[in-house]
Amino acid sequence: MKYRNIPGIDTPISEVGFGVWSVATPWWGVRDDKLGKRLLRAAYEEYGITFFDTGDVYGQGKGETMLAEALEGLRDKVVIATKFGYDIYAKRGDRHGGHSELPQYWDPDFIRKACEESLRRLKTDTIDLYQMHNARMEVIQSDVVLETLERLKEEGKIRTYGVALGPDIGWRDEGLAAMDRKVDMVQIINNLLEQDPARDLIRAAEEKGVSLVARVPHASGLLDGTYDPDRHFDKTDHRNHRPIKWMQAGLEAVRKLRFLYEGTDRTIGQAAILFNLAFPAIKSVLPNITSEENLREFAQAPDKTPLSEEEMRRIEELWTSELAEKLKQPFSNSKVKPTPVAAK
């Protein structure tokens, strides 16, 4: 494993991190809590992964409690990131099922409550990286929100804060605005098949000295060999929300990317991670880890041969080709709800 640094956090973060959503929710097919905890523990003990990214909304707190249980006794050796903004405390009748979004709140009292509850579930005194979860422009530009986060930082409850852009691909303007507001970190979607608006966000982050974390490096299974076009995915599975035409175009693109792994020491899944790590602004990559096999494969990616300038040039050519135009369409059909800053 190799490591990079995020300002404000003393512990270096591993170039491959662990996104807890893959084991704390059913979105990727893992429904075995014992397996999830075993993978989380093994990530550190066997492969040197020190960066763990969760969120209070994952399983309505389950992601945080699972992480605390799995990493018991390791708190000073790992970096924990979590997220806030969704009202996971609403009455069950007010909640939305599946992948639809819960109500969001951003007033100081709610942010403080969310922080205290996350600290309790994580069994820690300090959150290393506290992220606004899928925040819209109104939230990012709110002085009230940033002032509240600064107070939490001064009180030692959080070390750094940032924005996890989403819920789907896009959010260029929000990402650029967050960097202008001098947040410490921005989490983006970036992979070989989805490079916009990540290209603009990476360029801005390098100019402004902002740290990035990249998620969905494998494009919902297209870039790690797990996607089967003949397989039916359950409605709770995240891959079920990808447009069929997009997936078909993705399979065509994957065939043109064989030069990244055939005849090399890399698998396609490792090449997809190394593509992200070719950018210095990206400090860690969050693949979806659901088994001991892909934990091993993904964790070993930083030790494989880095992508060469020639390989990056060929990737650039593919992204400007006619095929890429088929890929430049929305990640999903998710509906965006207004997110009040000071309403509760």
Tens-place pLDDT, residues 200-228 = 999 999 999 999 999 999 997 889 877 66
Q: Each residue of 40-64: pLDDT tens digit?
A: 999 999 999 999 999 999 988 999 9
Q: Which element (helix H / strand E) includes 17?
A: none
pTM of the model: 0.89
The answer to whether residue 209 is domain-embedded is yes
User: 137 with 174: CB under 8 angstroms?
Assistant: yes
The answer to whether residue 317 is domain-embedded is yes
The answer to whether residue 148 is domain-embedded is yes
Q: What is the pLDDT of residue 318?
A: 87
Check whether 81 has a pLDDT greater than 50.
yes
CA distances in angstroms from 26 to 151, 235, 236, 237, 238, listed in the order given? 35, 10, 7, 7, 9
Check whether 332 has a pLDDT greater than 50.
no
- How many separate domains does the chain show? 1
DSSP 129-169: EEEEET--HHHHT-HHHHHHHHHHHHTTSEEEEEEE--SSS
The answer to whether residue 333 is domain-embedded is no
Q: What is the pLDDT of residue 333?
A: 38
Do the strands 13-14 and 3-4 form a parallel or antiparallel pair, or are they unpaired?
A: antiparallel
- Which residues, listed in sequence order, are joined to residue 36 by a DSSP beta bridge? none
**Cβ count within 10 A of residue 48:** 15
Retrieve residue 170's tokens.
């896009």
**Cβ count within 10 A of residue 196:** 15
CA angle 250, 136, 29 (to 5 degrees): 45
Residue where the block lists tokens 């929305």:
330
Give me the domain span that covers residue 302. Answer: 3-327
Q: What is the dihedral of CA 79, 134, 273, 81, to 10 degrees?
A: 0
Check whether 21 has a pLDDT greater than 50.
yes
The answer to whether residue 332 is domain-embedded is no
Task: Output 255 or 304, whichever has higher pLDDT.
Answer: 304
Check whether 303 has a pLDDT greater than 70.
yes
Instruction: Enumerate residues 6+ apart whose C-beta is below 8 A from 90.
Output: 102, 103
Q: Tell me the residue ranges of DSSP E strands in the chain.
A: 3-4, 13-14, 18-19, 51-53, 79-84, 127-133, 158-164, 185-189, 211-215, 282-286
Q: What is the residue-averaged pLDDT of the chain?
A: 88
For the question of residue 58 being annotated catalytic, the response is yes
The answer to whether residue 135 is domain-embedded is yes
Instruction: Enumerate residues 6+ apart whose C-beta is below 8 A from 243.
Output: 329, 330, 332, 333
In single-letter form, the type of residue at position 337 comes to: K
The answer to whether residue 189 is domain-embedded is yes
Q: What is the CATH number of the domain that holds 178?
A: 3.20.20.100
In single-letter form, the type of residue at position 13 comes to: I
Q: Each residue of 308-323: pLDDT tens digit?
A: 999 999 999 988 887 7
The answer to whether residue 179 is domain-embedded is yes
What's the mean pLDDT in 5-18?
95
Catalytic hit among 3, 47, 58, 89: 58
Check whether 92 has a pLDDT greater than 80.
no
What's the CA gap between 184 and 193, in Å, rounded?
27
